[in-house]
Amino acid sequence: MFQVLLDHYPYYLSTALIVIGVWGMLAKHNLMKKVIGMNIFQTAIILLFISSSVKFGATVPTFDPKLGLENTALYVNPLPHVLMLTAIVVMVATNGVAFAILLLIYRRYRTLDEEEILRRMRE
Amino acid sequence: MEAHSSLKPLVAVLVPLLASLLIMLSGKRPNIRELWTVLGSVAMFGIVFSMLPSALGSKYPEIVLFTISPGIALAFRADTAGIIFGLSASALWIVTSIFSIGYMRSLSEEKQTRYYTCFAICLSSAMGIAFAANLLTFVIFYEMLTIATYPLVIHKESPEAIQAGRKYLAYLLTGGLVLIIATALTYKYTGTLDFSPGGFLSGVVEQHNLLPLFVLFLVGLGMKAALIPFHSWLPTAMIAPTPVSALLHAVAVVKAGVFGFVRVIGFVFGPTLFHEIGAGNMLAVMASITIIASSLLAMYQNNLKRRLAYSTVVHLGYILLGVALLSPSAWVGGLVHIANHAAMKITLFFCAGAIYVKTHCENISELDGIGRQMPITMGAFALVSIGLVGMPPLNGFISKWFLGQGTLAAGEGIYLIVLLLSGLLNAGYLFPIVRRAFFAQSSKRTKFAEASILMLAPLVLTALISLFLGLVPDGIFHFYSLAGNVATSVLAGAGR
Amino acid sequence: MAQLPAIIPVSLLLSAFVAFLVGTFSRSLVYPITLLGIVTALVTAVMGLIRVLQDGAQHYYFGGWPPPLGIEYVLDHLSGFMTVLVMFIALLSVIYSRRSFLQEVPEKIVPLYSLVLLMLAGLTGIILTGDLFNLYVFLEIASLAAYAIMAIGNDKAPVAVIRYVIMGTIGACFYLLGVGFIYFATGSLNMGDVARILPGIYGSRLIVVAMTFIVIGMALKMALFPLHIWLPDVYTYSPSAVVALIAPIMTKVGAYVLIRMLVSVFLPNYLTSVLPVTLMIGWLAAVGIVAMSIMAIAQKDFRRMLAYSSVAQICYVALGIGLANPFGLIGALLHILNHAFMKGCLFQISGGIRYRAGLWQIPQFAGLGRHMRWTMGAFTVAAISMVGIPPACGFFSKWYLVLGCIDAGNWVFAVVVVASSLLNAVYFFRVLEKVYMVPSNNDSTVTAASDPPGEMLAPILVLASGIIILGVINAVIVTQILEPIVSLAF
């Protein structure tokens, strides 16, 4: 059991982070904390992907003349890295939009507490 | 029986639609608008009448339009059964139009353009129902009829009218939706929905699936046909203006329901199969209960139109009893009664409308002595009441005669007793009205005159038609031959 | 013309940037550029669909890299159908929106239209792409643009949108997780490739989890009950023209993704045999239809009523997907088309009433029928279609769904589909009664109202006539376009 944990620790960590992120998004009342939870959630997914690209005894996926191209097992899988660059950009853009909306909300309601805002909105 | 391609059934459906468009556009000029209504009704009747000879000769005009669902086309066929319904509806639209003009103008009603437009659309849907060549086309126009009649039911826009409209929609939309499920099931079982005389279900569908399928059709069609326990929308819908009640509830909407039964029993199930699964007895029993119970309920109604509504339910029961029995005479009686009852009931409603316009009385208790002041109106009423009871020389006797023969031929004498009993009950709720009108002393001071000629002429005409059809059952419209034709084609080889 | 699949999203992207750049100098040029971009994309989409009907599916490889190395764009019956639908509704909505935006948010025209174009680029990208990760990218492009557009407006919109942001991001990230697991198991991100490899590894638990994540993610995006919570607030508080644009198409694209997964990636016998996901979708949808229709009946705000109605209608589509048989899928696809027209028309009418009379509470609509004749006429047509009366198109999608339910032997679903028509009738006829019958108590806002100006009325009327036309020609659409899609899967 401990061996299983040790073998697959990236997955467990990522999963834990995902759960923390989702909990933050759903359980917290402060809108900023929700956005932070969102960030944690997305980052955890990115970590999960990248951890899947790792190979034992491999190096960064840039061409090294000393290693050559014949044995691809010497390079870490570059595809998830590339995908995750895109995902990071998406994450940043989402953050931008979310913060802009939070600014709008704050200017109008002077608070970022969800319950308070909803109460005022329903009136 | 061959079918030849002809545009006429399609034209019969489109002419009223065109008329409705013209009516809507000439809303600002009432005389032109009324002209379109009358022209449209005459044109439609002309087309349907012109298809009569070919229907009698067993060469049916048919037209297949485009596919409406993969494997099923939107198709019309003017066969004998369809012509019976189509002919009675279109002939009566003419007289109802004239009566409507008189009624609406005498009462200076509002929203007349909406009224005439929806009326025309309703007739178009009725033609679509009559001439539909397959179940899906039938269902499409059936639903259109429900929606097109709604604005007519709530015409007065009073709170009671709106409530009545809600009840109307609740019942009829539910029926339509159950009918859709029944149609989908039929399509799943057999892969086709085309009506064919003698049915297309036998041998294709497993026995144990047939009765539940019929129950679905029963609920779906029974709503419109005002079969007990689905009848209660009809008395409530009497809040509509009298011409609406006259045509739609005595002729088009409820007759569409019983016509649906004719199609389903005769052209989908087939009467022999229908009886094999026990549905025949079920329907006959339900029809009998409808007849007796509704007659009794009619006697308790003080509102004239509500009493007439329950009377309609009784006579729809007659028609259903006729098609539920496995005998050509019963079928002839039931089918002929579609037309006969239409002519008689519409006269009664016209009388009720004329009385309302002149006296603003809706209740029978207020009608004392009206007969002496409106002799023509009440005379027609009395004449037609005789027919509804089933006495010669009116057409009501003809239908009852054949229905009675049919019950004996099918070996179900009990239904003959039901018919005779209901004749007495009919008299029980109609004759007192006549008695009060002619022989009771009026407590009112004011003198009433007859209604305007626009209202008087139609009701006299329909009363005379009822008399004529009683004396010459096959005259002009050949209803008797048409009915016989349907009965033989549907019951080919079965029954006596 | 082999580049047709690529031209559509690229042209919209280009227009988005051009519109923004030009708009910073001259505000009045933004609208024409937007129209030009959308018309170009629409024309290209129609040409593409015709091409597909004649020649079959078109493939385009970005950069010339063949799959599984490169990103592939596929224009087949399903994507052609969806693209034409999305662009047509977008065109009508944008034409409709000009007056409405000028009245509600005049100073934000430039970013609004650029973002609209960006969102449309994202949506068409989702529809056309054949690569799983590329779908995520465009999904987020479309979603972010949509968040931004919806938040413009009054005070309440941002609050509604922030909830949408949170839930939508969860959805998209779940989808990303699912795609990741598929990649781990198959080593490929190309849809066709994955479909080829999957049958060999059907028992793999990784694939089961991947599918679950993808389904939940897209359920969040398409507002399938019970993950619909973000939708009512967003549709109620955003500017009316924005809702008229987004409501007919955003959630449908989510449904499209599910269908694409069903038809092209996980084939149906997998979804029914290994893990009965479709059954679960079907049951959630059935409950959703009933629950959401009842919620719609309880609403006094017209837009909120339409929002709950939209959730119920998306549940119809999900029910069709959940049946996992040919008729069910045809019903679902046809309902996507029909509902886009019906809801597009209804939300535009709602915006028109807001524009002319400033009203959005149903009790205040009393007597509008007399003053806004054409608009209310269109509303009657749309209402009749929603209830499911022929010959309007709503009847036919329900007809196919009922056929599908009978095929699957599922009577509960059939009754739900049919009974919900009655619930729809309740809340639509209630509005009709108010509008046509209850005499206006001489409320000056009502008597002063008239039909919206031509620019706004024309799209409403086009959609209303489209409802009837689509009903009449539905067999053509089914046989030509939908049946080939279904034959891919079954």
* Domains of chain A as residue ranges with CATH: 2-122 (1.10.287.3510)
Q: What is the DSSP-derived secondary structure letter of residue C58? A: E
The sign one gets for the Cα dihedral B449, B450, B451, B454 is negative
Q: What tokens appear for C454 in the block?
A: 């031509």
B104-114 burial: b if 16+ Cβ within 10 Å, else e: bbbeeeebbbb
**C179, closest residue in chain A (CA to CA):** A49
Is B129 an interface residue toward C (CB < 8 Å)? no
**CA–CA dist C195, C199 (Å, integer):** 7
Who has greater pLDDT, B5 or C307?
C307
**CA–CA dist C134, C139 (Å, integer):** 8
Per-residue pLDDT tens for B201-236? 877 777 788 888 889 999 999 998 888 888 888 888
Residue C442 confidence class, pLDDT cut points 50, 70, 90: low
Is B144 an interface residue toward C (CB < 8 Å)? yes
Alpha carbon C403 to its chain centroid, in Å, reads 23
Q: Does B157 sit within 8 Å of C437, measured CB to CB? A: yes
Please work out, in degrees rounded to the nearest 5, the angle formed at the alpha carbon of residue B406 by the alpha carbons of B404 and B411.
105
Nearest of C380, C365, C266 to residue C324 by alpha carbon: C266
Chains in contact with A via at least 3 Cβ–Cβ pairs below 8 Å: C
At B445 the pLDDT is 64
Asked if the interface predicted TM-score (ipTM) of this complex is over 0.90, the answer is: yes
**CA–CA dist C173, C179 (Å, integer):** 10
Q: Once rounded to an integer, what is the mean pLDDT over residues A21-45?
A: 93
Which of B66, B143, B187 comes nearest C389 by C-beta?
B143
* Segment holding B4, helix H or strand E: strand B2-5
**C174, closest residue in chain A (CA to CA):** A45
Q: What tokens appear for C379 in the block?
A: 């509303």
At B495 the pLDDT is 39
pTM of the complete model: 0.91
Closest Cα in chain C, distance from residue A64 (Å)? 22
Which of B68, B144, B169 comes nearest C429 by C-beta?
B169
- Determine the residue type at B157: E
Task: Determine the 3-state secondary structure of C380 from DSSP.
Answer: helix
At B493 the pLDDT is 45
**CA–CA dist C13, C317 (Å, integer):** 29
HSE (side-chain half, CA atoms, 13 Å) at B229: 0
At C440 the pLDDT is 65
Please name the residues between 325 and 354 in chain B that touch chain C, using a CB distance below 8 Å.
none
Q: Does C476 sit within 8 Å of B173, measured CB to CB? A: no
Q: What tokens appear for A106 in the block?
A: 């704050």
**B72, closest residue in chain C (CA to CA):** C475
Chain B residues in contact with C384 (beta carbon < 8 A): 147
Is C151 an interface residue toward A (CB < 8 Å)? yes
Chain C residues in contact with A34 (beta carbon < 8 A): 162, 166
Chain C residues in contact with A109 (beta carbon < 8 A): 155, 159
Closest Cα in chain A, distance from residue C260 (Å)? 22
**C185, closest residue in chain A (CA to CA):** A52
Q: Does A100 sit within 8 Å of C148, measured CB to CB? A: yes
Which of A45, A49, A101 comes nearest C151 by C-beta?
A101
At C398 the pLDDT is 93
CB atoms within 10 A of CB A56: 5
Q: Does C183 sit within 8 Å of A97, measured CB to CB? A: no
In a 10 Å sphere around its CB, with 0-12 CB exposed, 13-18 middle and 19+ buried, how is residue B258 labelled? buried
Per domain, the residue ranges of chain C are 296-490
At B1 the pLDDT is 56
Chain C residues in contact with A108 (beta carbon < 8 A): 155, 158
Mean residue pLDDT of chain A comes to 88
pLDDT at C133 > cutoff 70: yes
**CA–CA dist C99, C96 (Å, integer):** 7
Chain B residues in contact with C478 (beta carbon < 8 A): 69-70
**Predicted confidence pLDDT, tens digits, chain B (496 residues):** 567 787 888 888 888 888 888 888 887 788 888 888 888 889 989 988 888 888 787 778 888 888 888 888 888 888 888 888 988 888 888 888 888 888 888 877 777 888 888 889 999 999 999 999 889 999 999 999 999 999 888 888 888 888 888 999 999 999 999 999 999 998 988 888 888 887 788 777 777 888 888 899 999 999 988 888 888 888 888 888 888 888 777 778 899 999 999 998 888 888 888 888 888 888 889 999 999 999 999 888 888 888 889 999 999 999 998 888 888 888 888 888 988 898 899 999 988 888 888 888 888 887 777 878 888 888 888 888 888 888 888 888 888 888 888 888 887 778 888 888 888 888 888 888 888 888 877 766 667 777 778 888 888 888 888 888 888 877 777 888 888 888 888 876 443 3
Chain C residues in contact with A93 (beta carbon < 8 A): 140, 144
Alpha carbon C462 to its chain centroid, in Å, reads 18
Which of A45, A93, A101 comes nearest C162 by C-beta?
A101
Chain B residues in contact with C415 (beta carbon < 8 A): 181
Which of C380, C385, C437 should we substitute to test contact with B (largest number of B Cβ atoms within 10 Å)? C437
At B496 the pLDDT is 33
**Is chain B touching chain A, with at least 3 CB–CB pairs below 8 Å?**
no
Q: Does A97 sit within 8 Å of C165, measured CB to CB? A: yes
Q: Does A49 sit within 8 Å of C165, measured CB to CB? A: no
Q: Does C437 sit within 8 Å of B143, measured CB to CB? A: no
Closest Cα in chain C, distance from residue B216 (Å)? 12
Please name the residues between 179 and 218 in chain C that touch chain A, using a CB distance below 8 Å.
180, 183-184
Interchain CB contacts (distance < 8 Å): B and C: 73
**CA–CA dist B140, B176 (Å, integer):** 9
Q: What is the DSSP string of C65-128?
A: PPTTTS-EEEE-HHHHHHHHHHHHHHHHHHHHHHHHHHHH-GGGHHHHHHHHHHHHHHHHHHHH
Closest Cα in chain B, distance from residue C92 (Å)? 27
* Cβ atoms C418, C404 nearer than 8 A: no
Which of B70, B139, B174 comes nearest C422 by C-beta?
B174
Q: Does C166 sit within 8 Å of A38, measured CB to CB? A: yes
Q: Does C137 sit within 8 Å of A52, measured CB to CB? A: no
**B191, closest residue in chain C (CA to CA):** C403
Q: Once rounded to an integer, what is the mean pLDDT over residues A20-29?
A: 91
Which of B64, B68, B155 should we substitute to test contact with C (largest number of C Cβ atoms within 10 Å)? B68
Q: Once rounded to an integer, what is the mean pLDDT over residues C355-369?
A: 82
Chain B residues in contact with C476 (beta carbon < 8 A): 66-67
pLDDT at C81 > cutoff 70: yes
Is C133 an interface residue toward A (CB < 8 Å)? yes
Is C144 an interface residue toward A (CB < 8 Å)? yes
Closest Cα in chain C, distance from residue B189 (Å)? 10
Chain C residues in contact with A121 (beta carbon < 8 A): 155-156, 159
**CA–CA dist C257, C218 (Å, integer):** 7
Who has greater pLDDT, C442 or B307?
B307
**Is chain A touching chain C, with at least 3 CB–CB pairs below 8 Å?**
yes
Q: Once rounded to an integer, what is the mean pLDDT over residues C382-389?
A: 92
Is C118 an interface residue toward A (CB < 8 Å)? no
Q: Which of B199-203, B443-447, C88-92, C244-248 has the lowest mean pLDDT?
A: B443-447
Nearest of C163, C166, C172 to residue C139 by alpha carbon: C172
* Cβ atoms B311, B438 nearer than 8 A: no
Per-residue pLDDT tens for C261-280? 888 888 777 766 777 788 88
